[in-house]
Structure 1
């Protein structure tokens, strides 16, 4: 077979395949249209299947119901990995306990081998640790301080550990077993 006849045969085969594909697409589109609602059948509209599929779930680590907690308890919870969560204070449960001047005691449940939570809690002066190694980041103005929280006892932080008794804001808690 000559190169010229081979090319003609190849082009002819490609055109036949394209034509068959177009016919198949038309048949599929027509059957989707026929299976639609009555309004779709009369208007000839075809619903896109991709529009009906659920979206992708993307974890952004935002704290769930943070707006509700802010409105009810005046606590700004921002982001976390789910291993440190706001909890009702219950004695003897191994919670982290935080004392702030403008709040009653605030408690956090801790689970897993490590965890983190970012928040904004002003006027923090004491944190009671649990069985986890815990660090707390606090700030006042442009100054930041990281405190190692003593396990299972109260640790002075913020204004109670500041010579000037300034009001410090708790920004982050980190725990590890």
Structure 2
């Protein structure tokens, strides 16, 4: 009986070797292209070295919410209202654009309206000479200052509430600093 011999593995080994060398050469070319460490980049006589910066240094930074009121500079320039920070659930609106707004009345300013959305909201600001606020369907409290003294007022739902100089026995001018509302 004739001994059975298996075919020589050379053709398979040759293909594998050629493929491996091809992949290695492609990888080396990619490395040279990415790092700039090909011919002519070594430090030596008459040859300059290329600086390589990590890709992470060029990535954009993280987005961090600072709760700053959008377009506050434009609102200050156009309406003279300083809006600082909030959670986005209390926003300045045009009073003629709807109903169920918080209406803030200040001396030397037309009425200022705020729309409240969601289950709760807060907004910080600086509006001087506020004397009257009309509530909406939310339970609302406002924080005001007069000099160095801080005062807070509970705003009656869907009714007018005297605040600031209207509620102060001395009639002192108050600055509206914050609105907080909950459903």
* Shorter-chain TM-score range: 0.7 to 0.9
Q: TM-score, normalised by structure 1?
A: 0.75
Which residue number in structure 1 is paired with residue 61 of structure 2? 55
CA positional deviation for 1:151: 0.4
**Corresponding residue to 1:30 among 29, 32, 37:** 32
Answer yes or no: is the 8 Å Cα contact 1:95–1:110 preserved in 2: yes
Q: TM-score, normalised by structure 2?
A: 0.73
Which residue number in structure 2 is paired with residue 76 of structure 1? 82
Q: RMSD across aligned C-alpha pairs, in angstroms?
A: 2.3
1:65 has 2:67 as partner: no
SS of residue matched to 1:90: helix
**Structure 2 CA distance for aligned equivalents of residues 124 and 27 of structure 1:** 71
Which residue number in structure 2 is paired with residue 124 of structure 1? 130
Answer yes or no: is the 8 Å Cα contact 1:63–1:80 preserved in 2: yes
Distance 1:161 1:87, change over 3 A: same
- Structure 2, unpaired ranges of 5+: 1-27, 37-47
Which residue number in structure 1 is paired with residue 146 of structure 2? 140
**Structure 2 CA distance for aligned equivalents of residues 52 and 114 of structure 1:** 39
- Structure 1, unpaired ranges of 5+: 1-25, 35-41
1:107 has 2:113 as partner: yes
**Structure 2 CA distance for aligned equivalents of residues 65 and 29 of structure 1:** 47
**How many matched pairs?**
146
**Structure 2 CA distance for aligned equivalents of residues 43 and 74 of structure 1:** 57
Question: Deviation digits for residues 75-107 of structure 1, max 9, x if unmatched?
Answer: 011111111011111375211110000210000
Answer yes or no: is the 8 Å Cα contact 1:32–1:46 preserved in 2: no
Matched ranges for 1:91-102 at <5 A:
92-102=98-108
Which residue number in structure 1 is paired with residue 155 of structure 2? 149
**Structure 2 CA distance for aligned equivalents of residues 32 and 147 of structure 1:** 64
CA positional deviation for 1:165: 1.1
Answer yes or no: is the 8 Å Cα contact 1:94–1:130 preserved in 2: yes
Highest Rg: 1 or 2?
2
CA positional deviation for 1:43: 7.6
1:165 has 2:167 as partner: no
